[in-house]
A and B are shown apart, each in its own frame.
Chain A
């Protein structure tokens, strides 16, 4: 009922606007084309300057309103570079934005048609055009130079002592594997995959696989570089680490990597953000199907001691898979959050 009412109200508003518009057209015909054009010109010219002023105040107000919601500084060392790039790019583009918008709407207001005003025949001016070719070119060169310096740093090889975590995307959760004490991940092959006890398809003949363990949460050590080895089992996903300002696609068949150094433990972030529920989240940033929005893994950043204690408690996937015929223990992280059907093979 209220739905019909809403439609009725909208239609009524339309009819009223339309009637006013029609009436004003008749009035303008009566007044003569020139006079009515002058009038509407005045109104629109005035609105131009109003839009400029209110718009610029709006930009400021929007910033005041939302700056508290865009979070704290980068939680990774690498992200600092990205944050500073963003800052400088914001300064440069911000200046250009304000100047050009002011010129555009100010000129529109100032040079609106007036009785006796003549437009200035000004087809071109090489000097002016040269200026606004060269200045943007120089500015952009500077931005490219700084941007690429950061880009090559961010995409450089991870330090040798970086810890290794493998993250594999699947519809719709993340499979996390640690290399165990030997620090090396064992071989895997997609045809070995078995939902019940071998979700990654690890090759049990590979000795390196004996101590690899899987986890439901990603645990990282503060101030220690970590190299993510990223893959996908089905479609393209993306490892999005917004707090660290990093991101990398997970592509089936083509492993990718990303490395980052967390700066703050989860506990420190809770204090910094003043949010006792704060948690680092790994989000899927590449459209991957109907559960895309729920594809999350939590990340815990902690001290080395806390990490060691946690790692000591984890059970190697080899042992999980080779336990007697008893059903897979609850520790198995393969439980799919959306698909109930589990492979029978």
Chain B
């Protein structure tokens, strides 16, 4: 049957020009189930795959965020007991207080889930899939089949990762970075037993998914642009997805190699990362390995990873800001150029995560220089966004609000990067709450704001309906205020040197003065979490009951996705794919509110050389 579904799907790709409903309308009786499966489950349609990524991502986000609520309860209320916790976590929360082992497992899974499963797969998986074909003018991805595999490998990775939550010894608990020897030795930590193997397997499947997706995004953007869509006419969203995919394709394999060596060390008796160890009363036979090698391999992905997370958000925010300011994005080429600079530099800064590993100080100096260089393209982007809204005519749609929030948090979190990138300051702040504050604001909150901007802005394209505005406004303001209340004070904890990943601070004379603050932060975390549930509710409710779209182009935007029907079938455009004549940012030009990309240049514009 799956064969049939595959064939059926392929046929549809061939006859892409036909609306999908028509495609399976005539064999409705014989293949009804097959129709459902090929339409909603093993679908080749990039739009359906995007929705699959999004909904899987939302489910993971709820789980990952809920884990943070659990461990924030421990940090904010170290003396309290919560009997309901024992009911859901069993012996991991004996007496209603999570154990130290459970705490570390939750911290680890929170990081892994949010970095990889939500902000990588959920973010670029969703929007690269949805927007690349629609915005470059293609009927689908270069290889719809590979695209489908990309989602199902992600799904498989999700199943394996989820299953690790239910094994007797618990999931991985060595931090989302999983540094060996801790992650290599089951005797050193209970989370490094079977949970770690499942973690590594899930991550390997995840890498496969990322590569299948990334290669597709790149080849679609390079080869399948519609007539007239030169690279410099593409919306910045597509540039963002393109650079993201390039980063992923070049760096994920390195991560995988690091994981494979770790698997060998765990089960093959090799010593890539292990040397001179005495664990659990025994001297191990491993000699000559380097635990630091893993960190190089890990951060060679790990650093580009933060740009994999933030570049799609940057692209979407640029687009949403231009549309809702009714102005062209300021400095289009500078925006592309700065993203390109970020991509290049992303590969040259990984060791700034390793300033205190005993790294050669001379080598460290280069990483300081290159790291702080990234602030230059980042500054260009921020100033260009601010200039984009300057003298605009701004409509505060939910997407626009989250875009402004994105710029605000990107500034706040980006500036503390200048602190941490300077190795002399990093010595003191490394692995403290300052780091937590920095990266949660700049790649956690910002990337989420970018995602929310994308969801609110393109929801009408995905489902042909609007989300509820009032709920969106409540969602935005509470999240923005809450994010600052949670993470801003953490900088102060970091300045004292308060280490991250501590289960309890009460015995530390140097750090226990923040008990009240931790209490406060945890309460805000619960409120913000509840507000996100409001978003989730709004999302699912609006899919079925939201206000229906009556126009193809609800935001009066110039880009190609709004030239498709309200509910486009597989193939996106019922007729010919439109031809593109101009860039994506002709807003408020020559007395027109907006000029779609499909409008040919006027004689005057041609005389001026056009855009």
Contact = CB atoms under 8 A, between A and B. Distances in A.
Interface stretch (B2-10, B160-168, B219-227, B500-508): B500-508
A71 B496 contact: yes
B416 interface: yes
Contact of B492 (A66, A82, A85, A171): A66
Contacts of A238: 356, 431
A341 interface: yes
Contacts of B469: 21, 24-25, 28, 40
Interface residues of A, number: 127
A14 B531 CA distance: 9
Contact of B361 (A18, A125, A155): A155
Given A47-B477, A247-B356, A236 B391 contact: no
A339 B174 CA distance: 18
Contacts of A100: 382-383, 386, 411
A89 B491 CA distance: 14
A159 interface: no
Contacts of B334: 124, 129
B513 A285 contact: no
A339 B383 CA distance: 55
Contacts of B404: 48, 104-105, 108
A122 B328 contact: yes
B189 interface: yes
Interface stretch (A187-195, A209-217, A314-322): A187-195
B279 interface: yes
B364 to A, nearest CB: 7
A281 interface: yes
B584 to A, nearest CB: 11
A140 B330 contact: no
B375 A136 contact: yes
Interface string B361-382: 1001100110011011001101
B100 A150 contact: no
A208 B333 CA distance: 66
B100 A290 contact: yes
A321 to B, nearest CB: 16
Interface stretch (A176-184, A218-226, A252-260, A303-311): A252-260
A341 B84 CA distance: 33
B393 to A, nearest CB: 4
A47 B416 CA distance: 26
Given A151-B361, A191-B283, A285-B431, A121 B278 contact: no
B369 A254 contact: no
Interface string B286-305: 01111110000000000000
Nearest to A74: B428
A116 B513 CA distance: 55
Contact of B499 (A21, A67, A240): A240
A254 B104 contact: no
B182 A108 contact: no
Contact of A147 (B376, B422, B534): B422
A21 B174 contact: no
B408 A132 contact: no
B348 interface: no
B534 A242 contact: no
Contacts of A291: 100
**Interface size bracket, B side:** 35 or more
Interface string A53-91: 001001100100011011100000001011001100110
B175 A119 contact: no
B188 A119 contact: no
B232 interface: no
B412 interface: yes
Contacts of B416: 93
A289 B509 contact: no
A328 interface: no
A27 B69 CA distance: 36
Nearest to A63: B492
A286 B83 CA distance: 31
A238 B429 CA distance: 13
Interface string B5-39: 00000000000000000000000000000000000
A247 B430 contact: yes
Interface in A97-128: 97, 100-101, 103-105, 107-108, 111-114, 117-125, 128
A44 B397 CA distance: 9
A287 B408 contact: no
A77 to B, nearest CB: 14
Interface string B387-419: 101111111100001001001100110011011
A40 B517 contact: no
Contacts of B396: 40-41, 44-45, 108, 112
A343 B489 contact: no
A319 B327 CA distance: 81
B230 interface: no
B357 interface: yes
A137 B379 CA distance: 9
Nearest to B401: A44
Interface in A281-339: 281, 283-294, 296, 339
A154 B422 CA distance: 13
A112 to B, nearest CB: 5
Contact of A287 (B104, B292, B386, B480): B104
B292 A122 contact: no
Interface stretch (B209-217, B453-461, B559-567, B585-593): B585-593
Contacts of B492: 62, 66-67, 69-70
Given A108-B389, A119-B587, A287-B179, 11 more contacts: A21-B474, A25-B469, A122-B387, A129-B331, A144-B422, A171-B188, A236-B181, A289-B174, A293-B505, A341-B280, A345-B281
> Which 3 pairs across A and B sit closest by C-beta, in order of nearness?
A242-B497, A253-B275, A343-B281
Interface of B: 83-84, 99-101, 104, 173-175, 179-182, 185, 188-190, 274-283, 287-292, 325-334, 356-358, 361, 364-365, 368-369, 372-373, 375-376, 379-380, 382-387, 389-396, 401, 404, 407-408, 411-412, 415-416, 418-419, 422-425, 427-428, 430-432, 468-471, 473-474, 477, 480-481, 484, 488-489, 492, 495-499, 501-505, 507-511, 513-514, 517, 530, 533-534, 537-538, 547, 585, 587-590, 611
17 contacts: A14-B534, A25-B468, A25-B547, A69-B514, A89-B419, A93-B416, A96-B415, A100-B383, A111-B389, A119-B588, A129-B334, A154-B427, A253-B291, A277-B509, A286-B431, A293-B503, A341-B281
